[in-house]
Amino acid sequence: MIAHSICCDFKATNNKAEYEALIVGLMTAKDMKVRNIDVNCDSLLIVNHVNGSYEAKDPKMITYLDITKKLTNYFDTFNIQQIPRENNVQADALAGLGAVSKGLDLNNIPVIHITKPVVERLVHDIEVLALNQYDDNTNEDMDSWIQAYKDYLQLSVTPNNNNEARILRMKASRFTIIDDELFKKSSTGLLQRCLRKHEANMVLRDAHEGECENHTNEINLSLKILRLGYYWSTLRHDALDYTRRCDACQRHALVIHQLSEHLNMSIPSWIFMKWGMDIAGKMPPAPGQKVG
C-alpha cells in the first residue's frame, strides 16, 4: 500500500479535487509500470463521466475527462467503480489531511498509536517511575525492615539498641529465607512472601481493582492480600491509604444525606407527663441469687 495525501494549492471545487487525485493516482501507477488497474472512487459524478454514463458539459470538466481518458489508454485493463463513502474512509482521511495541511510544512507526520486509556497508562507510568527510583534513599528506608530481618537470619546482625535487638529476635522467629527471599509464617501455616514498596503497590492495585474489580474496603483488602500469601510491615496503613485515594470508591461510596443538627431536648406537654425514679442503695438479690 502506497498512501498519498494531495493538497491543492489553488482554488478548486470538490469535483476538480476528485479529478486531480484520480489523475495523480493514474500517473503514479503509470510510472510504476502497472498494466492492470482497478479504481475505487466515492464520487458518482467522476465515475459516470469516465464510464460515459454522464456527459461532461463544463469546459474544465471536459478537459479533466480528456486527460483521464488519455491516461487510461496506457493500461491493458482499466476499471473504475463507485463505492459508498463509508467504505472509503482511508482515502477520505488522507484527503482531509491534505486539506488541513495546506500552507503548513508537514513533510513527515508521526502517527501515535494509543493502546490503552490514559488512566491505565498513568498507573503504569507511576509504577515504572517507582521501579526506576527504587535505589533512592526514600525507598531504601521503606524497605529497610526486610533487610534487617535478612541480616539477622543470615548474619546474626542486631541493632545497637538493646530493646530493638530484643524485639527483633522475638519477631524473627516468624520469618524465614527461601532462595534469598524473606517469608513470614502466618498463624495458619501459610508462608507469606514479604514485598518491597514497589511490589506492594502492584499487589494493592491488582487486589483492589484487578480482574474482578470488587473495590473492597481497607480491612477486607488487607485480609485478602494476606490470604493471597503476601505481607509487608505497613500493609494495613497502605490499604487504608489506597482505598481513600481510589477514585471509583470515592464516587460510589455511601453518601449521608441527613442534615447535621444540634440535639434538642424534648419538652413535656404538661407537668408530670414523664416520671423518673432513682434508687438509693443496693437492690435486694432476686430469686436465684441474681443481682441486677
Domain 118-250: assigned CATH number: 1.10.340.70
Residue 117 pLDDT more than 80? no
Query: Is residue 136 very low, low, confident or very high in pLDDT (cuts 50, 70, 90)?
Result: very low
Domain boundaries, the chain: 14-100, 118-250
Helices 44-51 and 59-72 cross at an angle (nearest 10°) of: 60
Residue type, 60: K
Second-level CATH architecture of 14-100: 2-Layer Sandwich (3.30)
Residue 206 pLDDT more than 70? yes
CB of 39 closer than 8 Å to CB of 30: no
Query: Is residue 115 very low, low, confident or very high in pLDDT (cuts 50, 70, 90)?
Result: low
CB of 37 closer than 8 Å to CB of 79: yes
Residue range 179-194, pLDDT digits in tens? 888 999 888 788 899 9
pLDDT of residue 290: 66
CA atoms within 13 A on the CB side of 97: 17
Stronger pLDDT, 229 or 139, i.e. the higher one: 229
Residues near 255 by Cβ (< 8 Å), separated by ≥ 6? none
- For residue 64, what is its C-alpha cell? 479533466
Cα dist. 70→12, 67, 282 in Å?
A: 22, 5, 122
Task: Provide DSSP, the chain.
Answer: --------SS---HHHHHHHHHHHHHHHHHHTT--EEEEEES-HHHHHHHHTSS---SHHHHHHHHHHHHHHTTSSEEEEEE--GGG-HHHHHHHHHHHHTTTS--S--------S-HHHHHHHHHHHHHHHTTTSHHHHHHTHHHHHHHHHHHH----SSHHHHHHHHHHGGGEEEETTEEEEE-TTSPEEEE--HHHHHHHHHHHHHSSS-----HHHHHHHHHHHTEE-TTHHHHHHHHHHH-HHHHHSS----SPP----PPPPSSTTSS------SPPPPBTTTB--
Q: How far apart are CA 145 and CA 172, in angstroms?
A: 11
Cα dist. 13→18, 26, 204, 264 in Å?
A: 9, 20, 60, 80
Tell me which residue of 87, 60, 68, 55 sits closest to 24, measured CA to CA.
68
pLDDT of residue 161: 87
Residue range 70-114, pLDDT digits in tens? 888 888 999 988 888 777 777 777 776 666 665 555 556 655 555
Looking at the DSSP bridge assignments, the partners of residue 262 are: none
Residue 276 pLDDT more than 70? no
Query: Is residue 36 very low, low, confident or very high in pLDDT (cuts 50, 70, 90)?
Result: very high
